[in-house]
Structure 1
Amino acid sequence: MIRKIPALAPLAGLAVFLLGWEIAVHLFAIPEFVLPAPSAMAATIWTEAGSLSLALAVTLAEALGGFALGIAAGLVIAMILVSAPPLEKAMLPLLVAINSVPVVAYTPLALIWLGIGSASKVTMVTLAVGFVVLLNMLHGLKKPEQGAIDLMRSFGAGRATIMWKLRLPAAMPSLVVALRVGIVRAMIVAIVTEMLGAYMGIGWIIFQATQQIGFREVWAAIAVSSLASMALYGALVWIDRRLVWWK
């Protein structure tokens, strides 16, 4: 029974927050265009469930597709750079310089080069997640002490064996941290890119509703995307606790 309390705490906190929000809106007569009540947003979500669910499916597909590609790209590049220190010294400043600019700043270029379809969104999410995974994995893959590496080499282990059996297990906590940050960035970048140019998606819904002064629809889309992001983040936390047991 005691173990269930921590799991219920976030839900209880969310319920208290929403209740306070609802009371504050009615108590202070806050205009709907400034801040609608949670009940009004819930009603809009219910009436617009069809369009919102379709838009969410599009955004999730773009975010998760770019998320998977970003993980793969970040992992591969990090392993290559760690295995070749001279290459890391040459490439890391360039990678840091590219990452120092907000990823969304590259969105207009992606839309020009790849169009306003899903390809530009997946590419932008891949870029955002890939940098997070790369930087965290460069740190994680270097965690094993040199003595442990030398010991494995003395038993005839090559670079691939050391990478697979020593460096990667040691880097798993860093990877999980990167995934937690990356999944949030994936949703943000996908939505922002959709707002700048798209055929469909949560970002497109927000942009269209803003143009039509549909404040409830804007907040409903924001609420739906927030719930989806929380669900994805919770799934990663669950995976972390079940698989990275040695952390």
Structure 2
Amino acid sequence: MPSSLAIRAAPWLFVIGMIIVWQGAVEVFAIPQFVLPPPTAVVGAIIQFRDAIWFESLFTLGTTMVGFLMAVAFGLALGLFIGWSRTIYAGLYPLMIGFNAIPKVAVVPILVLWFGIGAVPAVITAFLISFFPIVVNVATGLATIEPELEDVLKALGASKLDIMRKVGIPRALPYFFGSLKVAITLAFVGSVISESIASNHGIGNLMLQAQAQFNVPLVFAGLVILAVEGIAMYAVMAWLEKRMTGWAHRSTGFAAT
């Protein structure tokens, strides 16, 4: 079994290896910078435009987190409602699938008509694109209670509320916290999509302006910043999942035996 040190070092080694391969491929094949800038040019763009990148990245992070927190609150409430009854689950789940199938980029122009250009469409787009995984996972966690277990609990005098509160919700917690890791990355996608179409700020708008000026290193710099923010927030959600639902996962030592 690999050591814990090797496991922790693996992501960094893969990233360093990818950067080396990227830099080498650009130099060996003489790829023009406007097609694929080398990592050194991307780092140079980050340093050169650090003030603008810092401001716009904070704007994107802010709109993403507001939309994500809205998705958590709404998704948890709706997931509990849908998972409360198999009849409600069967009735609303197809509607949820249909809503999620609508490309969110097609909704942005409507949001611009309603709220104008700015942060509000970005927040709502982040919310719309990230709440679905939360709803589905919470509802699934509640809907997977075995009918036999429900029958036994009812025979012991437990009400529907007691079953949901003492069995259903604890069972749904691993699903809920696991869905946060997916939802936060999708929230960044929603924010950047809206910023590219209907905002004067944000990393999406910065990348759009850089593209119009054929400043490809700055475009890649924006991608790198988004990746860093996404990884950081994913790590936070993974920490929350481990912290809140560690009881639901086997330990490493147990799994290895």
TM-score range, shorter chain: over 0.9
Residues 201-225 of structure 1: per-residue CA shift (max 9 Å, x gap):
0001011111122112111111111
Report the counterpart of residue 234 of structure 1 in structure 2. 235
Q: CA separation in 2, counterparts of 1:203 and 1:100?
A: 23
Query: Mapping of 1:1-247 within 5 angstroms?
Result: 2-245=3-246, 246-247=248-249
How far is 1:114 from its partner? Answer: 1.6
How far is 1:182 from its partner? Answer: 0.9
How far is 1:88 from its partner? Answer: 3.1
How far is 1:146 from its partner? Answer: 2.3
Residues 82-103 of structure 1: per-residue CA shift (max 9 Å, x gap):
2243333332222211111222
Secondary structure of 1:35's counterpart equals coil
Aligned CA distance change for structure 1 residues 116 and 36 (closer, same or farther; 3 Å): same
- TM-score normalized with structure 2 length: 0.90
Q: Is the contact between residue 86 and residue 143 of structure 2 (CA under 8 Å) also seen in structure 1?
A: no
Q: CA separation in 2, counterparts of 1:60 and 1:161?
A: 39
Q: CA separation in 2, counterparts of 1:151 and 1:117?
A: 54
Q: CA separation in 2, counterparts of 1:166 and 1:199?
A: 48
How far is 1:147 from its partner? Answer: 2.9
Structure 2 residue identity aligned to 1:21: W
Q: CA separation in 1, counterparts of 2:13 and 2:233?
A: 19
Q: Is the contact between residue 117 and residue 199 of structure 2 (CA under 8 Å) also seen in structure 1?
A: yes
Report the counterpart of residue 254 of structure 2 in structure 1. none
Q: CA separation in 1, counterparts of 2:162 and 2:123?
A: 33
Structure 1 residue identity aligned to 2:206: I
Give the number of equivalent residue pairs.
247
Secondary structure of 1:149's counterpart equals helix
Q: CA separation in 2, counterparts of 1:142 and 1:91?
A: 13
How far is 1:237 from its partner? Answer: 2.1
Secondary structure of 2:143's counterpart equals coil
Residues 28-74 of structure 1: per-residue CA shift (max 9 Å, x gap):
11100111011111111112111101101111111111111111111
How far is 1:109 from its partner? Answer: 1.1
How far is 1:193 from its partner? Answer: 0.7
Q: CA separation in 2, counterparts of 1:144 and 1:89?
A: 15
Secondary structure of 2:200's counterpart equals coil
Structure 2 residue identity aligned to 1:193: S
Q: Structure 1: state its 5+ residue gaps.
A: none
Q: Please, which moves more after superposition, 144-153 or 214-223?
A: 144-153
Q: CA separation in 2, counterparts of 1:233 and 1:134?
A: 18
How far is 1:2 from its partner? Answer: 2.7
Secondary structure of 2:33's counterpart equals coil
How far is 1:7 from its partner? Answer: 1.3
Q: Note the aligned Cα RMSD (angstroms).
A: 1.8
- TM-score normalized with structure 1 length: 0.93
How far is 1:155 from its partner? Answer: 4.4
How far is 1:156 from its partner? Answer: 4.1
Q: CA separation in 2, counterparts of 1:51 and 1:159?
A: 54
Secondary structure of 1:16's counterpart equals helix
Q: Could you list the runs of 4 or more consecutive aligned residues of structure 1 that deviate by over 4 angstroms after TM superposition?
A: none
Secondary structure of 1:116's counterpart equals coil
Q: CA separation in 2, counterparts of 1:103 and 1:161?
A: 38
Structure 1 residue identity aligned to 2:191: A
Q: CA separation in 2, counterparts of 1:164 and 1:11?
A: 42
